[in-house]
Amino acid sequence: MSGVSVSGLVKAWGPVRALDGLTLDFPEGSFFGLLGPSGSGKTTLLRAIAGFVTPDAGTVRIGGQSVDGVPVERREIGMVFQSYALFPHMTVAGNLSFGLEVRRVPARERARRIDEALALVRLEGFGGRRPAELSGGQRQRVAMARAIVTRPRVLLLDEPLSALDRGLRTEMQIELRRIQREVGITAIFVTHDQEEALTLSDRIGILREGRLVREGPPRAVWDDPGDAFTARFLGAANLFTGTPEPGGLRLASGALLAGPPGRTTGCLAVRPEAMALSPVEPGAPNALPGRIAALVFAGATVTALVEAAGQQARVTGAPSAFEGLAEGQPVWLAWPPGRAAWVAPDRPGVATGK
Q: What pLDDT, on the 0 to 100 scale, is given for residue 89?
A: 93
Inform me whether the pLDDT recorded for 304 exceeds 90.
yes
Query: What whole-number percentage of the chain has pLDDT above 70?
Result: 97
User: What is the set of domains in the chain, with CATH numbers?
Assistant: 4-223 (3.40.50.300), 234-343 (2.40.50.100)
**Mean pLDDT within 306-310:** 92
Inform me whether the pLDDT recorded for 351 exceeds 70.
no
Q: What pLDDT, on the 0 to 100 scale, is given for residue 349?
A: 42
Q: What pLDDT, on the 0 to 100 scale, is given for residue 1?
A: 53
Q: What pLDDT, on the 0 to 100 scale, is given for residue 347?
A: 60
Q: What pLDDT, on the 0 to 100 scale, is given for residue 91?
A: 95
| Contact call for residues 238 and 313 (beta carbons, < 8 A) | yes
233-288: pLDDT as tens digits: 998 899 999 998 887 899 988 888 988 877 777 899 999 999 999 999 888 788 99
143-164: pLDDT as tens digits: 989 999 999 999 999 988 877 7
Q: What pLDDT, on the 0 to 100 scale, is given for residue 3?
A: 92
Query: What whole-number percentage of the chain has pLDDT above 90?
Result: 69
184-213: pLDDT as tens digits: 999 999 998 888 899 899 999 999 999 999
Strands 65-66 and 57-62: antiparallel
Q: What pLDDT, on the 0 to 100 scale, is given for residue 279?
A: 92
> Phi then psi for 247, rounded to 5 degrees?
-90, -5
> Phi then psi for 201, rounded to 5 degrees?
-90, 145
| Contact call for residues 275 and 238 (beta carbons, < 8 A) | yes
Q: What pLDDT, on the 0 to 100 scale, is given for residue 167?
A: 78
Global model pTM greater than 0.75: yes
Inform me whether the pLDDT recorded for 327 exceeds 80.
yes
pLDDT band of residue 352 (cuts 50, 70, 90) is very low
- Which residue from 288, 340, 344 is spatially nearest to 312, judged by alpha carbons? 288
- Number of neighbouring beta carbons within 10 Å of residue 79: 22
**Mean pLDDT within 96-119:** 93
Inform me whether the pLDDT recorded for 93 exceeds 50.
yes
Strands 267-270 and 276-278: unpaired
The C-alpha angle with vertex 166 and arms to 165 and 167, in degrees rounded to 5, equals: 100
69: burial class by Cβ within 10 Å (0-12, 13-18, 19+)? exposed
| pLDDT-wise least confident of 12-21, 31-40, 170-179 | 170-179
- Which residue from 344, 204, 325 is spatially nearest to 266, judged by alpha carbons? 344
The mean of the pLDDT values for the chain is 90
CA dist 83 and 149 (Å) reads: 19
CA dist 37 and 47 (Å) reads: 17
